[in-house]
């Protein structure tokens, strides 16, 4: 079934997609949402906030320095400058839309501190519910624009591509399995990340690398695929996905201890618990490899203030029978964010004509080998806006006279049930064990071999299809990078190699 065409089709309804849709007004925009609007998006779960140089002692320059330092030498400095310069304006815009960010008693924005930031610059809401507040604000804003159509509970499966030009997507109604073609002059991928690829993740189950996989199958260039960020402190209570314990808890002084009561971060990095995320995550992983468990001790740093300061984390803890005012919080590293994605230029353009990408789906180059905390909501806002500007400038606002034929392979309704669940389970285990925090050539080759087996046995259907594409691209890029840098740590190449201090680019070898 073909639906009415739009000027622009936004695939994904998190912060990046909704900002793009809003900024495209008054164009006719369709926003495709895999779930009900407001659900299934990592934005909704984001605790930390938005990094922006809003404080009197801060500047975009300092923010840029921190971003680049975290990026471990390969962030694109031009993009870092765009991001950090633009940050305060994007925060102001959200305030104008009505976002209720936390304020001090004097009425100033209450800026939080997170690891590897040399200033307090995290704009937050409800203590640790920033993403939820932003999403609520954006949903209210889009609902006032009749030219934005939200299509819910429909999953995009493939790009419609003709002669290297994107013309929309082929999608499927979740409930009925009915196939739908959504055509548009401009297609914007904003589908979020790929956390579901890993056994332990903080991402929603919907984070199945859809945008990356669709773009890769259509022949688009990918970048920085090997760089997967693990958050050091996911709540280790046996839940999947794992609830996050925001880095701001460490920003307020909480310390990490093992089950022998040893504080181990002081021996590893001068910034101890506020060292870059990859350093802290690997240190906890190392403790686990030695058979230790790790807890976050917030008793003296936060204590009785915990429920007010971090209501979301407090609720997660209390529901699990842990009182962080008087007990350590059990934590473990979990896949949290992908620095890699669809390669885009400074306006979010991909290598396919009429196809843009923004948010976690894209790789702008800003994060380098390791994203600075709270730069992801920021990047989604900055690039959601830039993509909208570019689409408005580039794409002519008239329906295309020529509708390209659908070249996408038609597939039968997704194979579901135990076989697919088992294959996804296998893939998640092998990715966490072999393509996770510590990698080496033997493990990476094993992972690739397992991916090939899974592709042969069960490819081409449902979420597994996209996860396999992303898994393969990440493992291949990790195998090709013979060094350790940022989030990419190779036990067989434990040092950084200055000759390799550059971004990586790749394509899917067997493009459908």
SS3 396: coil
Q: Do 352 and 31 contact (CB within 8 A), yes or no?
A: no
Quick one: DSSP state of residue 29?
E
Q: How far is the CB of 194 from ligand SIN (least distance, A)?
A: 15
**Any contact of residue 48 with ligand SIN (CB under 6 A)?**
yes
Q: Which residue in this structure is represented by tokens 């055509």?
A: 183
First to last CA, the chain: 22
- Could you say which of 47, 201, 328, 354 contacts ligand SIN (CB under 6 A)? 47
Q: How far is the CB of 503 from ligand SIN (least distance, A)?
A: 21
Instruction: Kindly indicate which of the ranges 89-97, 176-184, 244-252, 477-485 contains the residues binding ligand SIN, using the contact rule CB under 6 A.
Output: 244-252
- Could you say which of 84, 287, 312, 374 contacts ligand SIN (CB under 6 A)? 374
Q: Which residues pair with 32 in a beta bridge?
A: 11, 151
Separation of CA 429 from chain center: 20
- Choose between 48 and 333: whose C-beta lies nearer to ligand SIN: 48
Beta strands in 303-386, from DSSP E residues, in sequence order: 329-338, 341-343, 355-357, 362-363
- Could you say which of 182, 373, 435, 474 contacts ligand SIN (CB under 6 A)? 373
Instruction: Kindly indicate which of the ranges 134-142, 174-182, 241-249, 291-299 contains the residues binding ligand SIN, using the contact rule CB under 6 A.
Output: 241-249
Q: How far is the CB of 331 from ligand SIN (least distance, A)?
A: 11
Alpha-carbon distance of 74 to 124, in angstroms, equals: 28
Which residue number has the CB closest to ligand SIN?
Answer: 48
Catalytic residue among 5, 119, 277, 450: 277
| Tokens linked to 425 | 């389970």
- Choose between 32 and 207: whose C-beta lies nearer to ligand SIN: 207
- Choose between 185 and 336: whose C-beta lies nearer to ligand SIN: 336
Q: Is 217 a catalytic residue?
A: no
- List the x/- string, 317-356, binding to ligand SIN by CB under 6 A: -------------------xx-------------------
Q: How far is the CB of 389 from ligand SIN (least distance, A)?
A: 25
Instruction: Kindly indicate which of the ranges 150-158, 220-228, 346-354, 369-377 contains the residues binding ligand SIN, using the contact rule CB under 6 A.
Output: 369-377
Using N-to-C axis directions, what is the helix angle for 77-97 and 130-143, rounded to 10°?
Answer: 70
**Any contact of residue 246 with ligand SIN (CB under 6 A)?**
yes
Q: Which long-range contacts (CB under 8 A, 24 or more apart) does 483-487 make?
A: 485/72, 485/73, 485/74, 485/369, 486/70, 486/71, 486/72, 486/74, 486/227, 486/276, 486/278, 486/339, 486/368, 486/369, 486/370, 487/227, 487/228, 487/229, 487/230, 487/277, 487/278, 487/339, 487/369, 487/370
**Any contact of residue 228 with ligand SIN (CB under 6 A)?**
no
Q: Do 47 and 133 contact (CB within 8 A), yes or no?
A: no
Residues annotated as catalytic are 277
Footprint of ligand SIN (CB under 6 A): 47-48, 244, 246-248, 336-337, 373-374, 376
């Amino acid at each position: 079934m073909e639906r009415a065409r739009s000027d622009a089709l936004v695939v994904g309804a998190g912060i990046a997609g909704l900002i793009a849709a809003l900024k495209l007004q008054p164009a006719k925009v369709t926003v495709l949402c895999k779930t009900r609007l407001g659900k299934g998006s990592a934005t909704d779960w984001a605790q930390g906030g938005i990094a922006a140089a809003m404080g009197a002692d801060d500047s975009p320059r300092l923010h840029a320095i921190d971003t680049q330092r975290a990026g471990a030498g390969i962030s694109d400095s031009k993009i870092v400058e765009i991001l950090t310069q633009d940050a305060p304006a994007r925060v102001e815009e959200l305030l104008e839309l009505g976002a209720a960010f936390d304020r001090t008693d004097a009425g100033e924005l209450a800026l939080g501190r997170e690891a590897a930031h040399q200033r307090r610059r995290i704009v937050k809401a409800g203590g640790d519910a920033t993403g939820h507040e932003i999403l609520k604000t954006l949903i209210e804003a889009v609902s006032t624009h009749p030219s934005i159509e939200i299509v819910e509970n429909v999953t995009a499966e493939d790009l419609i591509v003709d002669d290297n030009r994107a013309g929309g997507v082929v999608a499927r109604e979740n409930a009925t399995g009915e196939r739908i073609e959504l055509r548009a002059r401009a297609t914007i991928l904003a589908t979020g990340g790929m956390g579901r690829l890993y056994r332990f993740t903080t991402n929603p189950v919907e984070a199945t690398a859809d945008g990356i996989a669709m773009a890769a199958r259509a022949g688009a260039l990918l970048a920085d695929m090997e760089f997967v960020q693990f958050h050091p402190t996911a709540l280790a209570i046996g839940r999947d996905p794992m609830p996050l314990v925001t880095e701001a808890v460490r920003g307020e002084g909480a310390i990490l201890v093992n089950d022998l009561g040893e504080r181990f971060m002081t021996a590893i990095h001068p910034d101890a618990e506020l060292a870059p995320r990859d350093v802290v995550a690997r240190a906890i992983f190392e403790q686990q490899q030695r058979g230790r468990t790790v807890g976050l001790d917030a008793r003296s740093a936060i204590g009785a203030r915990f429920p007010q300061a971090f209501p979301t984390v407090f609720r997660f803890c209390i529901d699990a029978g842990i009182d962080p005012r008087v007990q350590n919080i059990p934590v473990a590293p979990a896949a949290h964010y992908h620095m890699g994605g669809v390669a885009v230029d400074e306006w979010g353009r991909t290598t396919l004509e009429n196809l843009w990408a923004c948010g976690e789906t894209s790789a702008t180059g800003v994060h380098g080998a390791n994203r600075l905390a709270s730069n992801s909501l920021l990047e989604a806002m900055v690039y959601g806006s830039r993509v909208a500007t570019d689409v408005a400038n580039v794409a002519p606002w008239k329906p295309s006279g020529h509708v390209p034929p659908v070249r996408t392979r038609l597939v039968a309704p997704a194979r579901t049930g135990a076989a697919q669940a088992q294959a996804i389970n296998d893939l998640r285990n092998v990715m966490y064990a072999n393509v996770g925090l510590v990698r080496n050539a033997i493990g990476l080759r094993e992972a690739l071999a397992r991916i090939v087996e899974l592709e042969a046995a069960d490819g081409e259907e449902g979420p597994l299809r996209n996860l396999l594409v992303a898994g393969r691209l990440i493992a291949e890029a990790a195998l090709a990078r013979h060094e350790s840098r940022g989030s990419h740590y190779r036990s067989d190449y434990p040092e950084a190699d200055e000759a390799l201090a550059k971004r990586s680019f790749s394509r899917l070898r067997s493009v459908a």
